[in-house]
Chain A
Amino acid sequence: GNSVTQMEGPVTLSEEAFLTINCTYTATGYPSLFWYVQYPGEGLQLLLKATKADDKGSNKGFEATYRKETTSFHLEKGSVQVSDSAVYFCALIPSGGSYIPTFGRGTSLIVHP
Chain B
Amino acid sequence: EAGVAQSPRYKIIEKRQSVAFWCNPISGHATLYWYQQILGQGPKLLIQFQNNGVVDDSQLPKDRFSAERLKGVDSTLKIQPAKLEDSAVYLCASSRPLVNTEAFFGQGTRLTVV
Contact = CB atoms under 8 A, between A and B. Distances in A.
Interface stretch (A14-22, A73-81, A103-111): A103-111
A79 to B, nearest CB: 26
A94 to B, nearest CB: 10
Q: How large is the interface on B (under 10, 10 to 19, 20 to 34, 35 or more residues)?
A: 20 to 34
24 contacts: A4-B42, A34-B102, A43-B91, A43-B105, A44-B93, A44-B105, A45-B105, A46-B103, A89-B42, A89-B43, A93-B99, A95-B99, A98-B48, A98-B56, A99-B99, A100-B45, A100-B48, A101-B103, A102-B45, A103-B35, A103-B42, A103-B44, A105-B42, A106-B41
Given A89-B43, A98-B56, A101-B45, 18 more contacts: A34-B102, A36-B105, A42-B107, A44-B43, A44-B91, A44-B93, A49-B102, A93-B99, A98-B55, A100-B45, A100-B48, A100-B56, A101-B103, A103-B44, A104-B42, A105-B41, A105-B42, A106-B42
| Pairs of residues from A and B, 3 with the lowest C-beta to C-beta distance, nearest first | A43-B105, A103-B42, A32-B100
